[in-house]
Amino acid sequence: MHGTLTDLARCLWGDEHGPTPACEATWQHEEFHFIERLTFADPDEILAMLRTLCPQLADGYLPVRFRNLAYRLLLLQRPDDPALLRDAANSLYLHGPDWDDVADELTRRAEALEAS
């Protein structure tokens, strides 16, 4: 059984920064299990996963689509966190211009929150 969201992600995709744990819960090795776990995870658990698996934002083996989904879910739970808004924006900037307008808006929101 995967004790944390981070453990489940490590089992599914590995960990560039640490060993992939031995695991006997192969029945959970489907992306939909990760999506379910991520969807209902609390913000601290999601942040712990991102900080552990992608400490430099552009690194790690966590697929981009799940990293961006994780940030989206975090922002729904913590919409007024400027540091989190900036991290989410920086994640989007890394993946080409398609999402730059959204990243720009997140950056503007962070700046407005810090100014107030």
- What predicted TM-score, i.e. pTM, was given to this entire model? 0.89
For the stretch 16-31, pLDDT in tens is 888 777 777 666 678 8
With 60 as the cut, is the pLDDT of residue 45 above it?
Answer: yes
Higher pLDDT among residues 25 and 45, named by residue: 45
Return the higher-pLDDT residue of 105 and 95. 105
Please write down the long-range contacts of 29-38, taking CB distance under 8 Å and 24 or more positions apart. Answer: 33/8, 34/5, 34/8, 34/9, 34/66, 35/66, 35/69, 37/2, 37/5, 37/8, 38/5, 38/66, 38/69, 38/70, 38/73
Q: Is the pLDDT of residue 111 over 70?
A: yes
